[in-house]
Amino acid sequence: MLRVIYQPKGRAAEYKEWAVNLYRGCGHCCRYCYAPSILRIPTLEFNDPKPRKDIIEKLTKDCKELRSRMESLLVLVCFTCDPYQPINDHHQITRKAIQILQAHGQRVAILTKGGHRSQADIPLLRPGLDEYATTLTCIDAELSRKWEPFAALPMERIGALAEAHDRGVYTWVSMEPVLYPDQSLELIRVSSPFVDEYKLGILNYHPHAKTINWREYGLKAAELVNNLGKKIYIKEDLRRYLRGVV
C-alpha cells in the first residue's frame, strides 16, 4: 500500500492520475485557493506551511514498492501545495523528491508558481519523460500580487516555462483559476511559444466567478489554443458551459 503517492479524485484527477504533496500548506497565500477547505485546515494554518512528516522517507518507501511491482508512474508534484513555495528554499525537499522518483524509474510532472525558485531544478527534468507546468492567472503584475501575494510574477513563470521548453521538456499551463478572461487570453498568446498544452478551467469556490461569462470565455480560449496549434484539455467545469459546441 502506498503511503504518500496517491490517486487524486474529482477535479484534481483531471491534472494527473498520480500525485504527491510534499508540504502541508502553502506560503503563496493565493486569495482564491480552495485547498484549505478541501483539506479542512484553517486558512491561517494552511498559509504557514510545513514539510509533511517523514515525507522523504515515505516517498522512498513508495518508490521502492512501485519498483518491486515494476510500475512506472507519472507523478504530479504537487497538487494541494506548491513544490517551489518560499519554504522550499530552506528545505530543498522538491529536489530530493525529484531525484528519488527518477532513481526508482518514476516520471515527474512539476506544477508550480515558483518561477525562478524552480529553475535550478529544471535541468533535472528529462526530455521525453518528465514535464514542467505552471499556473497562469493575471498578466498584470499588480493584479497578480493582489491575488497571489507571494507567488512569482507571471512573466517570471513564463520565463521558467521557456527554459524547460528550450531543454526539450514537455510543458503545459493550467489556465485555472480564470480571474479576468481577457488577461487569461493574453497569457495564452504570450506564453504559447513555450507551451505544448493548455488545460482550460474556470474559477471555483469564489464569488468573483459569478461575474464571468464562462461560455464566452471558453469558446474564445478554445479557439485561440486550437489556432495556435497547441494541445488542449478542457476541464469538466468549463466543458459543461460548452456542450453542443466543443
Give residue 186's pLDDT.
98
Task: Report yes or no on 111 lying in a domain.
Answer: yes
Residue 47 falls inside a structural domain: yes
DSSP string, 151-218: SPPHHHHHHHHHHHHHTT-EEEEEE-S-SSHHHHHHHHHHHGGG-SEEEE----SSGGGGGS-HHHHH
C-alpha distances in Å from residue 227, one per residue of 67, 188, 220: 41, 11, 10
Residue 2, domain member (yes or no): no
State the DSSP code for 126.
P
* Residue 13: predicted pLDDT: 84
**pLDDT over 90 for what percent of the chain?**
92
Q: How does pLDDT run along the chain (246 residues), one tens digit per residue?
A: 899 999 998 877 888 999 999 999 999 999 999 899 888 999 999 999 999 999 999 999 999 999 999 999 999 999 999 999 999 999 999 999 999 999 999 999 999 999 999 999 999 999 999 999 999 999 999 999 999 999 999 999 999 999 999 999 999 999 999 999 999 999 999 999 999 999 999 999 889 999 999 999 999 999 999 999 999 999 999 999 998 666
Q: Residue 119: which domain range?
A: 10-239
* Phi, psi torsion values for 72, nearest 5 degrees: -120, 120
Domain total of the chain: 1
User: In the prediction, which pLDDT does 245 show?
Assistant: 67
* Residue 135 located in a structural domain: yes
Mean pLDDT of the chain: 96
Give the residue from 201, 200, 199, 112 showing the smallest Cα distance to 163: 112
The set of cell numbers assigned to 134 is 505552471
- Can you give the CATH number for the domain in which 158 is found? 3.20.20.70
pLDDT given at position 106: 98
pLDDT in the model for residue 12:
75
